[in-house]
Homo-oligomer: A and B are copies of this chain.
Amino acid sequence: MKYLIAEDEKELQQSIATYLSREANVCETASDYREASEKLELYDYDIVVLDINLITGSGLELLRKLKEQNKKCGVIIISANSSLDDKLEGLDLGADDYITKPFHLAELNSRIKAVLRRGQFGGNDSITFEEIRLDTLARSAYVNDKPITLTRKEYDLLLFFITNQGRVLSKAIIAEHLWGDDSDLLDNFDFIYVHINNLRKKLTKAGAKYIQTAYGSGYKFIAD
């Protein structure tokens, strides 16, 4: 399950992401219109939590765009307490639910659950790729139903590969997804080599070698 949190208040954004990351397999954030728009074009999400009052560009505008593209994801709008109109307009535009600031995270979560339940969006606890299976609740990995022990970073890396199979992932993107936003500034991704190497060793040993190097661009996870 993949969530996107489009919220410009950094603190709230982080609270939400932290809270929801246990429900989602992938929980990403966007801090402004541009970033959200970009991510929505590049990736598929099951749920988008959208603050309708994004400073840069309107959240409603984003929602309109989203629905034009006919993406199959549930949308939950966050709105400031006053703006009833925005809410209604949002629902008109195809949002699935809304929640008013301030709110409890548990409340947001149960609304997401409700949207997922009544919609056709997402909904599976294990992810497979060829003979690899990830149990996302137990955070455990299997190759041909034999468990392999992964560290946290290795698991996250493998999950990221599988949920983005076939796509070339640059070291910068991998770093951003596994280490968060602060790594924008880094220009040294040496440590990724190490994690890739470790994960490769474990997968190869178990008989599943799918991490391919795209020389000069990054890596991709793909069956030969």
A residues adjacent to B (C-beta < 8 A): 10-11, 14-15, 18-19, 22, 104-106, 113, 117-118, 120, 123, 135, 137-139, 151-152, 166-168, 170, 172-173, 181, 184, 214-217, 220, 222
Q: List 10 A-B contacts (CB under 8 A).
A: A11-B117, A11-B123, A15-B184, A137-B166, A138-B220, A139-B168, A139-B217, A151-B216, A152-B215, A152-B216
For residue A172, which residues in chain B have a CB less than 8 angstroms away from its CB?
18, 22
Please report the C-alpha to C-alpha distance between residue A168 and residue B167 in the assembled complex, in whole angstroms.
29
Nearest Cβ on chain B to A222's Cβ, whole angstroms: 7
Please determine whether B104 and A181 come into contact, CB atoms closer than 8 angstroms. yes
Please report the C-alpha to C-alpha distance between residue A151 and residue B216 in the assembled complex, in whole angstroms.
8
For residue A151, which residues in chain B have a CB less than 8 angstroms away from its CB?
215-216
Q: Which of A18, A152, A220 has most chain B Cβ within 10 Å?
A: A18
